[in-house]
Chain A
Amino acid sequence: MKNRQTPPDVARRMLHGIMRVRLIEERIRKLYAEQEMRCPTHFSIGQEAVAVGVCAHLKREELITSAHRSHAHYLAKGGDLKGMLAELYGKATGCAAGKGGSMHLIDRSVGFLGAVPIVGSTIPIGVGAALSSVLQGNPLLTVIFFGDAATEAGVFHESLNIAALHKLPVVMVCENNLYSVLSPLSVRKPEDREIVQLAQGHGVFNGQADGNDADAVYALAGEAIERARAGQGPAFLEFKTYRWYEHCGPLEDQHLGYRPPGELEAWKARDPLKLYAGRLRQHGIVSDADIAVMEKTIDAEIDEAVAFAKASPFPTRDQLATHLYAP
């Protein structure tokens, strides 16, 4: 990997981005308890640096897809916060008109093609988006986000092969958070084989980095993205990271006993937000006062979006049958 320093302005943006996802999701966790957001919701807390570090490179028109755990990707790509919160509340003003919920976010105005909770399903869809751009003579980067478990699905391999074969401008980003629901990697793949090795078999550019270190994510993603934009073919990146809360829902889940003792604590000690804030402070890129301002601005933005979502109307009954077929 080339030695890549994150430029200070990008670093500040990334810190803001990580903090923003964190604060938004912490707010959703609190509000979820009111039982007014009634849809299965998968939190990204603990994994924010991957979404933010990758999306820091992306232009507005470049595309991304995601899966069930999509809040961080949606927000990092610039997805509309009001639309997302209204969607979680099932409101007509939601980004999917209330028909989707947390598992089906979309904001095409910023290149967020869509997120769905069938594991693996958006991988070929993202490849298809990239293919279309090539067919249209205007290659456009597509970044496809998914979890470790998606690499176990046949469709991942089939899609990666197609992307490699046609040298498509695709970057696949695997967030390896060690679990598929409650199942550890040890019951899902051979111990002596890393996930990234699957991509090596497909002969595409690949790499592995610390997903809790925003700079490491930014550096590796930058290399893959430049290659893909330059027509040098797809890439597969594996970022190791960790989910703090239950698989689905806002609560802690230590009582279930599927995480080895000390594991969560060890990962929390490497909190991507604290890690990055600390580093930027140390390098004099941000001050404590800057951070306080960031927090305040973000909180105000969230207050406004929550108020918007809560005040928004529900879809009316006649909306049940709309959107069945495109006009």
Chain B
Amino acid sequence: MSATASTRQLKFVQALNEALDLCMTKDPRVFIIGLGAPDPAAIFASTKGLVEKYGPTRVLDMPVAENAITGVALGAALRGMRPVMTHIRLEFAMLTIDQIVNQAAKWHYMFGGQASVPLVIRMVVGRGWGQGAQHSQSLQSWFAHVPGLKVVMPATPHDAKGLLISAIEDNNPVVFIEHRWLYGIHGPVPEGVYRVPLGQPNVLRQGRHVTVVATSYMTLEAVRAADELAQEGIELEIVDVRTLNPFDETLVLESVRKTGKLIVADTGWRSVGFAAEVVARVTERCFGDLKAPPVRLTLPDVPTPTTRALSNYYYPLVHDITAAARRLAGRPAKPAPEIKPEAFLDVPDPSFTGPF
């Protein structure tokens, strides 16, 4: 992390863009490859300006051939290049599971350390405006299950930049998952190159009463919950996971030893998901410190419905965190807000008018 605290505010997407720009400037081996990477929409503006600055040989558009592109990027990585592959939806990476899981994740190990794959694969998770079953999946747990892959999910503009720089500099395949609803949030981002190390969670907020371990967008929801609960004298300690594999649970264990209460909030599905992994590590390592059963806040185990009348009840809301925390803290429950089927909970803010 940078030594100088910065007050410069950037959007999450601008932080990603700056990370790419800086890496391309300092290292000629870095190039971007993926559908639409140099197009005018520029992967929701995250690659904006880069083709103009670095030319079409360093920001490559591609045919709709994701599996091949991944293999091509892997091949380039083997010979020392540092490709950054982009997918505007995580689902499109599903077509490339052979190259990611069978190949990229294995080549270093399987060839006795003679090959390394410095490849970053960016995947955007969609949510809202009826993205539905095939444009909104949060499959980080799948990737995190695979030894040899690193899996990163930034939650703040600061970390988006610092983690992306670390990912590009890393000598291993890194799956870098970006939540679409984080793109517009602002936060302090230092100038110049700085790194947020892979494999280190961050205590985003300190508190005495309940530990909330969160990934990606759920970290933001946890902060909102913490703000609300602070007024009631309940302190949440928020641990932002940042890297799901390798996952270092040290900070989580320290926090649970202090609070004795654990909520894990993940953007993915419940069963066999990352939240279960966190609960498992905590119960294995500090079972005796737990004063109540841990709580998982995740998606229910069903695909994403398109209609907002159902998606309004699909995503965990701030209230789910505050309700769980009040219960764990032994405080009286508050009535849940009434959610109408026609309510517009399918946009991160009113400026968002679809279709993406």
Chain A residues within 8 Å of B, Cβ to Cβ: 35, 38-41, 90-91, 94, 96, 98-104, 116-120, 149-150, 152-154, 180-183, 187-189, 248-249, 256-258, 314-317, 319-321, 324
Contacts and interface: CB of A to CB of B under 8 A. Distances in A.
A38 B130 contact: yes
13 contacts: A39-B355, A41-B355, A96-B306, A100-B133, A104-B132, A104-B133, A117-B135, A181-B39, A182-B39, A183-B36, A248-B355, A319-B305, A320-B305
B91 interface: yes
Interface residues of B, number: 44
A101 B341 contact: no
Name the residue among B39, B66, B300, B306 with the largest chain A CB count within 10 angstroms: B306
B148 to A, nearest CB: 24
A189 B68 CA distance: 14
Contacts of A119: 64
Given A104-B134, A153-B65, A182-B40, 12 more contacts: A39-B132, A91-B307, A98-B310, A99-B306, A100-B306, A180-B64, A249-B354, A316-B309, A316-B341, A317-B341, A320-B310, A324-B303
Contacts of B309: 90, 98, 314-316
Given A38-B346, A40-B354, A321-B302, A90 B307 contact: yes
B61 interface: yes
Nearest to B41: A182
Contact of A154 (B62, B68, B91, B355): B68
B92 A40 contact: no
A13 B302 CA distance: 42
A152 B62 CA distance: 10
B211 interface: no
Given A118-B95, A249-B354, A317-B313, A90 B308 contact: yes
A99 B314 CA distance: 12
A38 B308 contact: yes
Contacts of B133: 99-100, 104
Nearest to A39: B130
A268 B205 CA distance: 57
A183 B341 contact: no
Given A90-B309, A100-B132, A182-B39, A248 B67 contact: no
Contacts of A120: 64
A46 to B, nearest CB: 18
A320 B300 contact: yes
A261 to B, nearest CB: 15
Nearest to A41: B355
A256 B129 contact: no
DSSP class of B's interface residues: helix, strand, loop or mixed? Answer: loop
Contacts of A256: 40-41
DSSP class of A's interface residues: helix, strand, loop or mixed? Answer: loop
Interface string B75-95: 000000000000000011011
B294 to A, nearest CB: 23
B63 interface: yes
A314 B307 contact: yes
A94 B130 CA distance: 14
A249 B41 CA distance: 14
Nearest to B88: A181
B322 interface: no
Interface string B4-44: 00000000000000000000000000000001100111000
Contact of B61 (A98, A116, A183, A315): A183
Contact of B307 (A103, A154, A315): A315
Nearest to A251: B355
A38 B129 contact: yes
Contacts of A154: 65, 67-68
A40 B135 contact: yes
